[in-house]
Homo-oligomer: A and B are copies of this chain.
Amino acid sequence: MIGAMQDFELRVSTMIDHAERQSGEREIVSRYADGSLVRGSWSQVARDARRLANALARLGIGTGDRVATLAMNHGRHLAAWYGVMGMGAVMHTINPRLFDDQLAYIANHAQDRVLIYDAAFAPLVERLKPQWPTIEHYVCFDGEGEGSFDALIAQESDQFVWPAGSERDPCMLCYTSGTTGNPKGVLYSHRAIVLHAMTAVTPACLAIATDSVVLPIVPMFHVCAWGIPFATAISGSKLVLSASNDAAVLCDLMHQEGVTHSAGVPTVWLAMIAHVDAGAPPPPLEHVVIGGSAASRAMMSRLMDMGMNVSHLWGMTELTPIGSVTKRDPGFDALPREAQLDLLSKQGATPYGVEMRIADEEGNTLPRDGVTSGRLQVRGPWVIDRYFGDERARAVDANGWFDTGDVAIIYPDGIMQITDRAKDVIKSGGEWISSVDLENEAIGCSGVAEAAAIGLPHPKWDERPVLVVVRKEGANVSEADIRAHLSSRIAKWWMPDRIFFVDHLPHTATGKLSKLTLREQFRDVRLDEPAGASA
């Protein structure tokens, strides 16, 4: 006996069809790199998507073929997404901020057959063309002449019957850029993308309604822009896309288009705050989601001062990407600001669809007691099973748990707090020291601009913490000042063995602090018995 309901496959094509049917006239506004503003709609995007599907079919692109983009956020990119995925091909969004060797590797590994790129990335494309033998067709999103996106689809019919197929078919490919080894591809299924979008619109995640106006600052090449281009199709909301992430451009656009919802990494919000501090009127946002890396209390508090509901989102490429979001339990609004910031500083709770646990090194589930920390692991319908091109090796354990590489605490109310990257955690005398906690406390010391804590080998304690500090411009904070500051804030045995001052810290291509490089820089430091380690 099986359930007697319809077998209706959850395909990306059903989302754009829904948007066209239910909110066809709702605007898609694009602010291109040249400053031009183009007003389209969900109907227009749907028609262009079908035109592109016809054009790609004419070029011989079929089911499962990879079509890459190297592009910022705009309506043509959106139409390309729905056209490629709708016709059953795979949209591969490439991050233009990667290094050349990564860019070369990724397109070859994906065996991209078509690349559609922004004119701004033409020099990059010209430079890398010789290294991209699988790419047969280059199309430029900008302009109207030969080789342009508009020219490619101009003569095509806006009628195209989306192929039927399984919701388990792939539709999108994103590569993670880890700090070691080659980037790895995550091949999203239609099912994962659709279920993730259905969840993204809920009040527990992005809270997107039909009358919301959404501007994703997060780029479309960054894990599906956190699913916002799909979520807004489901909700039928107005979508505002900007190829520029300049704070002044974004702020003007938000005012002009009445943007109510936005999402981006901490950096863009810091720039927005600086822009407002310089005299601009605060953007009219109601809901702001901050993700990608940890958001500071000060930044979140400033945005709340501007009247915005702030949420903290934690995710990963391997999670499509939403893993957890700030949980607004009853009474949240009535809490004092500091208590709200305590909650916002954590990574939040999983929406339905993500199961989360912490585990020890042997894979045993650890308690959700708000104290015990362990390896953060997740599973669910939008969590990776195996990396692209590596189909035989699963990326999960026998019970489906994917290890995120993070170390976290889970509280009894389901709220999760990341305390470290597993590879960055400092193992001293059999106990774990959170490098993140140490850094956060150090940053609280007046005169400290940036701080990184790493573990270095120690003959007795296995590892001991070392702190690497960048001073604020003009500040002359000393090692003694920092030790004095830390002494009342951390356990005695957490006290760094050494504190070094540097001019800047090393970062990866995607802007993350590279502790790998840092550990290499300091690998010749020899630590003796630590002064503060009586534990």
Contact = CB atoms under 8 A, between A and B. Distances in A.
Contacts of A207: 203, 209
A198 B352 contact: yes
B327 A210 contact: yes
Nearest to A395: B4
Copies in the complex: 2
A511 interface: no
B6 A396 contact: yes
A498 to B, nearest CB: 42
A305 to B, nearest CB: 22
Contact of A208 (B15, B203, B391): B203
Interface string A171-207: 1000000000000001111111001001101111001
A191 B3 CA distance: 9
A379 interface: yes
A114 interface: no
A384 B2 CA distance: 12
Contact of A210 (B15, B17, B199, B203): B203
Nearest to A90: B1
Given A15-B352, A210-B203, A413 B171 contact: no
B386 A3 contact: no
Interface size class of A (residues with CB under 8 A): 35 or more
Nearest to A196: B5
Contacts of A14: 352, 355
A400 B8 contact: yes
Contacts of A198: 195, 198-199, 202, 352-353
Interface string A300-317: 000000000000000000
B210 A414 contact: no
A471 interface: no
Contact of A6 (B8, B166, B381): B381
Given A3-B170, A414-B23, A330 B211 contact: yes
Interface in A364-406: 368, 379-388, 391, 396, 400, 402
A69 interface: no
Contacts of A8: 379-381, 383, 400
Contacts of A387: 4
Contacts of A204: 201, 209-210, 235-236
A431 interface: no
A188 B4 CA distance: 6
A25 B330 CA distance: 12
Contacts of A400: 6, 8
A72 B520 CA distance: 67
A413 B191 CA distance: 27
A320 B5 CA distance: 9
A21 interface: yes
Contact of A188 (B5, B188, B233): B5
Most chain B CB inside 10 Å of its own CB: which residue of A8, A211, A368, A379: A8
Given A21-B414, A202-B235, A349-B22, A3 B189 contact: yes
Contact of A189 (B5, B21, B169, B203): B5
A64 interface: yes
A365 to B, nearest CB: 12
A332 interface: yes
Interface string A345-367: 00001101101000000000000
Contacts of A17: 355
Contacts of A137: none
B211 A328 contact: yes
Interface string A1-38: 11111111010001101100111110000000000000
A328 B210 contact: yes
Contacts of A473: none
A238 interface: yes
Contacts of A126: none
A329 interface: yes
Given A5-B187, A5-B320, A6-B382, 5 more contacts: A6-B400, A195-B198, A198-B202, A211-B330, A213-B330
22 contacts: A2-B168, A2-B189, A3-B168, A3-B170, A3-B189, A3-B190, A3-B191, A4-B387, A5-B188, A5-B320, A6-B385, A7-B385, A8-B380, A10-B381, A22-B413, A22-B414, A24-B413, A201-B202, A201-B204, A202-B203, A209-B328, A211-B328
Interface of A: 1-8, 10, 14-15, 17-18, 21-25, 64, 166, 168-171, 186-192, 195, 198-199, 201-204, 207-213, 233-236, 238, 320, 327-332, 349-350, 352-353, 355, 368, 379-388, 391, 396, 400, 402, 412-414
